[in-house]
Amino acid sequence: MVELKNDAELAVMREAGRVVATALAAVREHAAPGVSLLELDAVAAEMISRAGATSSFLNYHPHFAPTPFPGVICTSVNDVIVHGIPDDYRLRTGDLVSIDCGACLDGFHGDSAISFTIGPPTEADATLIGDTAAALAAGVAAATPGARLGDVSHAVGEVGRAAGYGIPQGFGGHGVGRRMHEDPSVPNEGRPGRGLPLRPGLVIAIEPMFMAGGRDRFVTGPDGWALRTADGSRAAHAEHTVAVTEAGPVVLTAP
Ligand code: MG
Ligand code: MG
């Protein structure tokens, strides 16, 4: 069931989104050669706790995973697409890092992800990260009242396909609210003009994830969480929680 949020609820969700944005900025600031993924997790945990919020990810246990998620952030490095569990891996210059973070404040969740490199990016990484951000921006721009969910999915997928990237099937965006994952599902490809009509009060996470190698195949790691590209190519992920309003889309997880 799709739940629409009223203005008071959207105001609370904006504050939850701000907590996520602040945590992501702190993690990015802290990420450097020699820093471990567990240290980044601790940075996010501290920021979320300091804001009086709780982690949406810690102990989250969806149907596809064998164990509850043990971290506060997902840390997905190089060929890991999404859902990387923070461990003692220490970052190296040239790594492409995707960080996904969720926080719950006053009963409402925010969910957002960023991708960046440790040190200056190669041209290929800069393009992949830039195209993923452009797909997110296109998806956000399509989230207007009167449009349909397929318009958002189409906008995201078109950017990825035009650039020749692979798109993992079965993973994508979702409704956000009192639960981190609500209806509707927001696939990263779709047909324009189809699907749920977008009404003011609808809140969705839009989250393109693209694989540089161009194929759609991915594999699940031995921990049952991390998704990796099957061809070993790099992947990038970007995500915002977005409200559809009378005035147009509003990014709730903007800094
Ligand atoms: Mg997320
Ligand atoms: Mg999400």
**Domain residue spans in the chain?**
7-251
Homologous superfamily (CATH) for 7-251: Creatinase/methionine aminopeptidase superfamily (3.90.230.10)
Residue 100 CA to ligand 2 centre (angstroms): 8
Residue 220 CA to ligand 1 centre (angstroms): 18
pTM > 0.95? yes
Q: For 14-49, what is each residue's pLDDT tens digit?
A: 999 999 999 999 999 999 999 999 999 999 999 999
Residue 116 CA to ligand 1 centre (angstroms): 15
Cα–Cα distances (Å) from 218 to 106, 169, 223, 228, in that order, read 36, 9, 15, 5
User: What is the structure's pLDDT at 64?
Assistant: 86
Residue 123 CA to ligand 1 centre (angstroms): 26
User: What is the structure's pLDDT at 201?
Assistant: 98
Residue 19 CA to ligand 1 centre (angstroms): 14
What is the rounded CA–CA span in Å between residue 32 and residue 117?
9
Question: Taking residues 76-93, what's their average pLDDT?
Answer: 98
What is the rounded CA–CA span in Å between residue 82 and residue 61?
15
Residue 232 CA to ligand 1 centre (angstroms): 22
What is the rounded CA–CA span in Å between residue 133 and residue 120?
17
Neighbours of 29 (CB within 10 A): 9
Residue 172 CA to ligand 1 centre (angstroms): 9
What lies within 8 Å, CB to CB, of 250 at 6+ separation is 10, 14, 242, 243
Residue 101 CA to ligand 1 centre (angstroms): 6
Residue 113 CA to ligand 1 centre (angstroms): 6
Q: For 176-232, what is each residue's pLDDT tens digit?
A: 999 999 999 999 999 999 999 999 999 999 999 999 999 999 999 999 999 999 999
Residue 241 has pLDDT above 90, yes or no: yes
The mean predicted confidence, pLDDT, of the chain is: 98
Residue 57 CA to ligand 1 centre (angstroms): 9
- Reduced 3-state DSSP string for 93-133: CCCEEEEEEEEEECCEEEEEEEEEECCCCCHHHHHHHHHHH
Question: Taking residues 79-87, what's their average pLDDT?
Answer: 98
Neighbours of 162 (CB within 10 A): 11
Residue 173 CA to ligand 2 centre (angstroms): 6
Residue 207 CA to ligand 2 centre (angstroms): 6
Closest by Cα among 161, 160, 168 to 130: 160
Task: Look up residue 184 and give its DSSP letter.
Answer: E
Helix (H) or strand (E) holding 206: strand 203-206
CA 26-186-151 angle, to 5 degrees, is 110
Determine what percent of the chain is predicted with pLDDT higher than 90.
98
152 CB-side CA count, 13 A: 34
- Ligand lying nearest the CA atom of residue 176: 2
